Amino acid sequence: MGTDSATNLYIGLPFSLWTVTNNCVYLRDINGTLQDKQCVSQTAPTPTPIPQPSVYIAGFNASTNPQNDYVTISNSATSSFNLTGWWMKAESESGRYDFPTNFTLNSGGSVNVRSGIGTDTTTNLYIGLPYSLWTSQSNCAYLRYKDGTLVDKQCVNP
């Protein structure tokens, strides 16, 4: 997301399009005639550098009980970091989890993002689901910056 300029045009999506293998862009003239086509290859381009690389997915606690099923997000920076606008998504889900407004991850701190229902605290956030997300052996978590840039991706069982 951003403001169009002479050198940059923005689609306006809250996620990256060009980090997925086989996504293609088609350039057409005013009559719709194809002028060029480029696709993301198996060696996808490197995503845009993240603004705060010290925030990352530290691990999972897979459980069939949604209250005990969580992914841990950590901050290895020497200062606190505000996660307002950041979001994460499970590969198995169509929806996403948005971090609460003004949620701050303390320096050296961690927060567990739990599948279940509960009251958010500084160390536990709740997605509000009646089922577990992280019990699938192949499920992955995607942590994204507020502009959609992929910050980290980790899988339950890599």
Q: Which domains does the chain have, with CATH numbers?
A: 1-46 (no CATH), 55-155 (2.60.40.1260)
State pLDDT tens for residues 7-44: 666 666 555 666 655 567 666 777 776 666 666 665 54
| Residue, of 119 and 81, whose pLDDT is higher | 119
CA distance 17 to 131: 29
- Give the pLDDT score at 88: 93
- Give the pLDDT score at 133: 87
Share of the chain above pLDDT 70, in %: 68
| Residue 25: both structure tokens together | 């862009």
User: CA Rg, the chain, in Å?
Assistant: 18
The answer to whether 127 touches 114, Cβ cutoff 8 Å, is yes
The answer to whether 35 touches 26, Cβ cutoff 8 Å, is no
pLDDT, mean of residues 143-149: 87
Strands (E), the chain: 24-28, 34-39, 55-61, 70-75, 81-82, 87-90, 97-98, 104-105, 110-114, 124-126, 140-144, 150-155
pLDDT confidence band for 48 (50 / 70 / 90): very low
